Amino acid sequence: MAQSQKVERPARADALLNRERILAVALEELAQGADVPLSAIARKAGVGQGTFYRHFPTREALVMEVYRYEMLQVAKYAEHLLQTRAPDQALREWMTRLAEYAMNKAGLANAIREVSNVGSCAGKESYAPVVNAAQSLLDANERAGTIRPGITTDDFFLAIAGIWQINVNDEWKPRLVWLMDFVMEGLRAGAPARSA
């Protein structure tokens, strides 16, 4: 009858404002490098150290939240791909997009690597949509018989771990293409379709 026990505290107006200001500044600063001191962001945002720290207890939490909206877009992009391409093609393009996105956002690859490992919990909510997107892509491919059955999202992200290791230099493109090919072939191996 009553509301759920986990109350979604409405939060005070100034708290929300501070939070937004921090995120706005962080977005700017992170665009110029991942090694920005958190204290600098707090100062530029005009909030105290303590305030900053309560909103974002860890660096990963901040980075995840900063890119949350765009991460959500990437996740949603999976649906679009699934409706306009063959499942395996959709999966491949999605991986590529995820990789390129993570590469161009400073600190995002590290943050995801952190979150996708164990507990750490910080920013886990921001990452969840990506996992779900991967899940639906894998499901679609399994139904279509274009990948071997039984592959979990854990397996998947383990297979594409190299993504978080490629850094933007002169020859990142061919390396990424190679990795995508490699993973796709691996997922396809032993699939019902095209098998015999």
How far CA 195 is from CA of 88, 147, 176, in Å, comes to 15, 10, 26
In angstroms, give the least distance from the CB of 84 to its own copies: 27
The CB-of-3 to DNA minimum distance in angstroms stands at 16
Taking residue 95's Cβ as centre, other Cβ atoms within 10 Å add up to: 22
| Residue 50 Cβ vs DNA, minimum distance, rounded to whole Å | 2
169 binds, among its own copies, DNA, none (CB under 5 to 8 A by kind): its own copies
* Residues within the interface to DNA (CB under 7 A): 9, 11-12, 14-15, 18-19, 37-40, 46-51, 53-55, 57-59
Query: Which one of its own copies, DNA, none is in contact with 4 (Cβ closer than 5 to 8 A by kind)?
Result: none
The per-residue b/e assignment along 109-139, b for 16 or more CB within 10 angstroms, e otherwise, is: bebbbbbbeeeeebbeebbebbbebbeebbe
Binding partner of residue 120 among its own copies, DNA, none, CB cut-off 5 to 8 Å per kind: none
- The entry of its own copies, DNA, none near residue 57 (CB within 5 to 8 angstroms by kind) is DNA
Least separation, in Å, of the C-beta of 43 and its own copies? 27
Interacting residues with its own copies (CB under 8 A): 113, 116-118, 154-155, 158-159, 161-167, 169, 175, 178-179, 182-183, 185-186, 189-190
Distance CA 38, CA 31 (A): 14
Considering only CA atoms, which of 123, 191, 104 is closest in space to residue 112? Answer: 123
DSSP character at residue 170: T
Give the type of residue at 16. L
